[in-house]
Amino acid sequence: MDGNAIGLRVHARVDAAAIAHNLAALRARLGPASATRIWATVKADAYGHGLHRVLPGLAGADGLAVSQLADARACRAAGWNGPLLVLGGLLDAEEAQRLALPDLHLALSHDRHIDWLAGVPSCAAPPWIWLRYAGDIGYTGFDDAGYAEAYRRCAVLARQGRIAGIGHLNHYGRAEQPDGIAQADARFQALIRDLPGPRSFCNSAALLRHPDAARSTDWVRPGIALYGASPLPDIDGPALGLIPAMSLHTRIIGIRDVARGERLGYNGNIVAAAPMRVGMVASGYGDGYPRRVPAGTPVLVDGHTAAMLGAVTMDLIPVDLTGLPPVAIGAPVVLWGTPELPVEKVARHMGTIAAELLTSLTPRVPVIPVPMAEPDDLEQKSKISGSPPDRPRR
């Protein structure tokens, strides 16, 4: 167990240098000559990593994308001086009245959004507008019938100097598939053919699976890949050259030899089909590790792959140590998030995705930041202030 983890039952580690590496790796995929800029998506407190912990690794990003305006203000307070994109647009008309945040970009997805902006008499720092297309997800955004009219209304606001410019935003529903974006793209491109403005279409899956399409746009919006996890079903992050940025660690706190036929767990859910050595891992659903874990889900015990037995409790997870080299009480356990056991691999066993596991850790899990060397690139440093601004921003 490493020195920092003494006395900790369970802990997570977050490595900002891994984020910096992943950002550079995604930029390399766009190509050396690419002018495409990168919104680093940091919604849900940077996919559960903690915005303040990942920010030192995001100095090379061109902007940050968040869910709501309050998150954008939190990014400024944390020292981010670059552009901010609010993917959820505005919550209500009041929010529109107190925008004054320099370098703010708002994704608008319905007519009320435009009404609210049109109701603002003047804004010291007019925001950029990104019109969101409903696309093949269809959860939010303008559909084919309303898009051009929304653009026309925003163009009026732009001519009056009340917004800074208009861009086009789409979010794909199945970009991880080889044929996942062609149809959605053809439709949207036809719709915006005569409407000027920058384009932002691609999440991590689209960037990784369809780099040529990503390169042809002005801004991409990767999230999960920045944190080192692959969104593609057939290949893990490390094989894509990504480094996991968060890992979940605990230890073995009990070992029992169990006879054939013996039952374990609440209601005797686990039955030993043969003599077994069972290790108790000091974590559970109280830490955000899902309760319904199928038997066979992998875990690393002292560096060796072991199989979970299912039946996770609040504080304990039983694992099968039978046949493994001898394991001692206190042996280190990795639940997920290293190159040997990527979080997406564990998520696949559970029938979920990496982002859900990353955002599920509960407050009782302490997070230890991996120390990061100071960036020596002065230009990169300039986008992030060393300390939060002391002047409140409204």
Ligand X SMILES: *Cc1c(COP(=O)(O)O)cnc(C)c1O
Residues contributing to the site for ligand X (CB under 6 A): 41, 43, 87, 171, 203-205, 221-225, 231
* Nearest C-alpha neighbor of 104 from the set 78, 121, 81, 79: 81
Sign of CA dihedral 129, 28, 76, 88: positive
**Between 29 and 162, CB nearer to ligand X:** 29
CA dihedral of 102, 107, 112, 114, whole degrees rounded to 10: 60
Q: Which residue is nearest to ligand X (CB)?
A: 223
Tokens of 188: 């949207």
- Which residue is catalytic, options 47, 266, 285, 345? 266
Residues composing the chain: 394
Q: Which is nearer to ligand X, 43 or 383 (CB)?
A: 43
DSSP letters for 293-345: PPTT-EEEETTEEEEE-S---SS-EEEE-TTSSP--TT-EEEEE-BTTB-HHH
Cα–Cα distance, 85 to 6 (Å, whole number): 40
Residue 350 — φ and ψ, nearest 5°? Answer: -90, -5
Whether 345 is a known active-site residue: answer no
- Closest contact distance (angstroms) between CB of 160 and ligand X is 28
Minimum distance, C-beta of residue 332 to ligand X, in the bound complex (Å)? 29
Residue 47: active-site member: no
Pick between residue 48 and residue 56 the one whose CB is nearest to ligand X.
48
CB of 175 closer than 8 Å to CB of 206: yes
- State which residue, 80 or 219, has the beta carbon closest to ligand X: 219
Q: Which of 43, 47, 133, 289 is catalytic?
A: 43
**Annotated binding residue 314:** yes
Pick 68 or 81: Cβ nearer ligand X: 68
CB 254 within 8 A of CB 294: no
Q: How far is the CB of 29 from ligand X (least distance, A)?
A: 13
Position 306, amino acid:
A
Least spacing, CB of residue 355 vs ligand X, in Å? 6
Helix axes 144-159, 182-192, angle to 10 degrees: 40
- Min. distance of Cβ 366 from ligand X in angstroms? 25
- What residues are labeled active site? 43, 266
Q: Return binding residues.
A: 314
